[in-house]
Chain A
Amino acid sequence: MRIKKFFLLSSIIVLSISCSEKRNRDIDAVIYWSSNNTEEIEFAKVVVNSWNKNNSGRQVSYQPVPEGQSSEEIILAAVVGKTTPDIYSNMWQGDVESYADAGALVALDTLDGFWNLINERCDSAVIKEVTSADGHIYQIPWKINPIMLLYNKKIIQSIGFDNPPSTYRQFFQGGSKFSKDKNGDGYVDQWFGYSEVIVTWWQRLFDFYPLYIAASNGAPLVEKNRAAFNNKYALEVFKFLQNLYRKRYFAKERLSQRQDVFLSGVIATRFTGPWEISHAEKFKPEGLEYSFTHMPVPDYHNGPVYTYCDPKNIVIFKTCPNPDLAWRFVKFMVSRENDLKFLRITNQLPRRKNLAGDFFFSEYFKSNPKMILFAEQAEYVKGTDQALYLKEVFDLISQEYEASVIYGEKSPEEALSDAEKAVNLLYLQ
């Protein structure tokens, strides 16, 4: 009997310690988690101090998202443990739908002044993009890093181009002229471009997906819980990339373990974002000139070229004891003045319409001329579809991408068809 009681008591203690959750929170205080890179922590400090100075009774405290394998993992753990902050500003757009579906987020469109803010900040396409399946909006589009083509100016000129290659045909021409076996060991050791060949889902956000958006002017991958990507645009992209690898214009080896292959002239181009600027400025060898242009498109493409913009947005969690106060801080945080501070401190673009043409930001772009290319591109960007299981969708595409594009084991048609079937099965399950 005593033994039984002892076990019962132990169980209750253990379970109550592990499961108990009680947070005594001051209703007039807000907790804000920023990203954990140095620049964004600095921005969080500036914006929070500025708010606290003028709102003595309603203080905001900030901290970077705790360290972990990824911030997504930390946020998930916080949601499960009900230890989420009130505001989080680094939520990948593709994750929002699953948190909204689980009831973890506040529907921001129910809060006072939401529509004024969103209409002032975003155009109708962006508003549509961030609207969830249930018709509510759970996120404020905050920052973007559009993916563009980085190119080495001297190399591009040396192979006979006046302008950087912008179509698939020009890309192949560039590849045939630049890719070669320099040391004569029978293996190509200088490539026209490079994209990591790893099968990890997010790698496709930096090669297949921006190319797909560019080719299709922003077509969805998933629509109404069905695969929507088995179309001529995805087929063109698969064929384009497959040929680049087959002709050895792109390296199949993982070059990321070496010294920077772009800065050392081993590759002439790379699909990348504005973060490359500060890296290149810090480490580039003397004489290296580089610039950015839009993603390559099929030869028949007309009009502006879209790309993926890696959007990170602001959300308010349902655990927040005072969503109105949190919302007032969010409105302050995304004001034009604070967007400019954000741009200056982090060199990342606020997701705000007409950024390149807005006089308010022009001084920054004058002193950071390479960033204007990204600001102009920001008018033609797309984030992610508002759909569940997006990571798995990308993973399933990535499996087929590897089989078809990298290894040529399947035709692009077969690969896309198989990916479509797998994605449809995923939503059925």
Chain B
Amino acid sequence: MKNKKLIPYIMVSPYIIHFMVFVAFPVTFSVILIFHKWNIISPMEYIGLGNFARLFNDQFFFKSILNTLIFLLIHIPLQIIIALLIAEALNRKIKFKGFFRTAYFLPVIVSGVVVTMLWQQLYGFDSGLINRFLVSLGLGKVGWLVDPNIAMPSIAIMATWKNVGLYIILFLVGLQTVPPQYYEAADIDGANYFQKFFRITLPSINPTIFMVVILSTIGGFSLFIEPYIMTGGGPLSSTLSAVLYIYKQGFFYYHMGYAATLGFFFAVLILSVVVIQRKFIEKEK
């Protein structure tokens, strides 16, 4: 009888242990760290709100947030438009539909590091394939990763290429839920393709669009691998994302307390954005 009562606890124990080690302990510890100065090897020093005072004077952190927002501003609309257009095409009766769906999804499952290194070769100024192609057309070379004004858009294009497959699938699901009767009625009324697309398709898949916006926003805020490998945050800190900056503070300079504070501030920021988006969605519904 006693053993029987223990069984449920044993069953949930793997999750409980995992949760405590990888969630509860790190979160609790990082809250403690916020009020301390700690470089891992020396004892912790209590500094009250010192890390927050530093944060509000840290121009690099605010630049990194601005960079992340610039990335989101380019990446989200680009991703939605491209994913929607491709999904719309794949929703029609075309040949090799299965092949195209697989092909578009392939980059999603390829390692981010591999994709980033591949695009690094494409973006090379002198020897990159894209610039070689531009020169062969008689056009000038573009400083994809070396021009501070172009580096972040370049990363946004690459991130879009990497993730668009996932959003194509989501849009396809959305498109397939639109009742065909709507289109039939529109056909009878003499509506053209664009009228049907903007008056029927888009309003019908609104919930999918908002879901894609939220997923892209959260994914975009965690921008890290691409600038870490491709540019190291340069040129002129133009691709320094917030997560990359927090990583540098924590695991490069070992300012653990400060990194925890930045992480906390950034988490609150993401939460605020998502809450606003949710409110907006609920209102739309």
Contact = CB atoms under 8 A, between A and B. Distances in A.
Contacts of A10: 13, 16-17, 20
Contacts of A6: 9, 13
Contact of A99 (B5, B9, B41, B141): B41
Contact of B236 (A251, A253, A403): A403
Interface string A407-421: 101000000000000
Given A18-B21, A198-B232, A258 B127 contact: yes
A103 B43 CA distance: 10
A429 interface: yes
Interface string B1-45: 000010001000100110011000100000000000001111000
10 contacts: A6-B13, A10-B16, A14-B17, A18-B21, A102-B39, A197-B235, A199-B234, A252-B146, A253-B125, A254-B124
Contacts of B276: none
B279 interface: no
B135 A200 contact: no
Main secondary structure of the interface of B (DSSP, over half): loop
Contacts of B125: 252-254
Interface stretch (A184-192, A292-300, A372-380): A184-192
Nearest to A7: B16
Contacts of A392: 253
Interface string A253-271: 1110110000000000000
A3 B13 CA distance: 11
B29 to A, nearest CB: 11
Contacts of B126: 187, 189, 251, 253, 255
B41 A104 contact: yes
A187 B141 contact: yes
Contacts of A14: 17, 20-21, 25
A101 B127 contact: no
B237 interface: yes
A7 B13 CA distance: 9
A76 B235 contact: no
Contacts of A11: 20
Contacts of A199: 232-235, 237
Nearest to B237: A399
B252 interface: yes
Interface of B: 5, 9, 13, 16-17, 20-21, 25, 39-42, 54, 120-121, 124-127, 135, 140-141, 146, 148, 232-237, 252-254
* Most B-side CB within 10 Å, residue of A101, A253, A258, A407: A253
A429 B252 CA distance: 17
Contacts of A197: 146, 235
* Most A-side CB within 10 Å, residue of B5, B232, B233, B236: B236
Contacts of B135: 185
B32 to A, nearest CB: 15
A420 B199 CA distance: 60
Contacts of B254: 76
Nearest to B253: A392
Contacts of B237: 199, 399
B228 to A, nearest CB: 11
B141 to A, nearest CB: 6
A76 B256 CA distance: 14
Contacts of A31: none
Interface of A: 2-3, 6-7, 10-11, 14, 18, 76, 79-80, 98-99, 101-104, 185-187, 189, 197-200, 251-255, 257-258, 389, 391-392, 395, 399, 402-403, 406-407, 409, 429
Nearest to A103: B42
B41 A76 contact: yes
A187 B17 CA distance: 60
A68 to B, nearest CB: 12
A186 B135 CA distance: 10
Contact of B235 (A7, A251, A389, A407): A407
Given A10-B17, A257-B124, A102 B41 contact: yes
A255 B146 CA distance: 12
B235 A186 contact: no
A429 B9 CA distance: 48
B125 to A, nearest CB: 4
Nearest to B54: A429
A407 B148 contact: yes
Nearest to B248: A395
B146 A402 contact: no
A402 B39 contact: no
B9 A186 contact: no
A247 B120 CA distance: 26
Contacts of B235: 197, 199, 402, 406-407
Given A10-B16, A76-B40, A392-B253, A198 B140 contact: no
B20 to A, nearest CB: 6
Contacts of A409: 236
B234 A253 contact: no
B141 A80 contact: no
A409 B140 CA distance: 23
B20 A200 contact: no
A138 to B, nearest CB: 14
Contacts of B13: 6, 10
A97 to B, nearest CB: 12
Contacts of B40: 76, 79-80
* Most B-side CB within 10 Å, residue of A10, A99, A389, A395: A10
Contacts of A258: 127
A185 B233 CA distance: 30
